[in-house]
Amino acid sequence: MNVLVINGPNLARLDIRDSAIYGDMTYPQLVAHIENAAQTQGFKAEVRQSDDEATIIGWLHEAADKKLPVIINPAAFTHYSYAIRDAVELVKSPVIEVHLSNPLAREEFRHTSVISGVANGTIGGFGPNSYVLALIALKALLA
């Protein structure tokens, strides 16, 4: 089964972001990590990244139309993009929100997610393994 993994703004720049928060993986390494974990769980992951809100919304519409499950790291859009929230709500297959860091352990403005209320669940704080845990949860949701 296919799964769409959507990554939001600045994630393609992991190599220059604060490694204390985001870890030491580059974005290509993260993509490989996700693809390998997906294969282990019986999925084929298509991993995409955009800094553009409209592009992410289009991908969510595509997932809704194709009935694809989604793992989404909305990054900064987590906290204020009602447009992405509304697009997530259109996806009737399972949707899991992920974060490399734990937003609740960071600045107060990061404590609010407008996405969580329309996702099946949220996993954060486990670095790249947040995606692995999301894939395990997704497999259970689809069983």
What pLDDT score does 56 carry? Answer: 98
What is the mean pLDDT, run by run of 10 residues, along the chain of 143 residues?
96 77 82 98 98 98 98 93 98 96 72 92 95 98 95
What pLDDT score does 14 carry? Answer: 80
Spatial neighbors of 55 by CB under 8 A, at least 6 apart, are none
What pLDDT score does 49 carry? Answer: 98
The verdict on whether residue 73 carries a ligand-binding annotation is yes
**In this structure, are residues 84 and 53 in contact, taking their beta carbons and an 8 Å threshold?**
yes
Q: Rounded to two decimals, what is the model's pTM?
A: 0.92
- Look up 33 and say whether it is catalytic: no
Among residues 61, 99, 111, 131, the one annotated as catalytic is: 99
Tokens 């790291």 sit at which residue? 73
The total number of structural domains in the chain stands at: 1
Q: What is the dihedral of CA 100, 106, 108, 111, to 10 degrees?
A: 30
Q: What is the CATH number of the domain that holds 82?
A: 3.40.50.9100
- Look up 22 and say whether it is catalytic: yes
Tokens 């089964």 sit at which residue? 1
Range of the domain at 50: 2-142
The verdict on whether residue 85 carries a ligand-binding annotation is no
CB neighbour class for 63 (10 Å; exposed up to 12, middle 13-18, buried from 19): buried
Q: Alpha-carbon distance 34 to 131, whole Å?
A: 6
The verdict on whether residue 110 carries a ligand-binding annotation is yes
What pLDDT score does 22 carry? Answer: 63
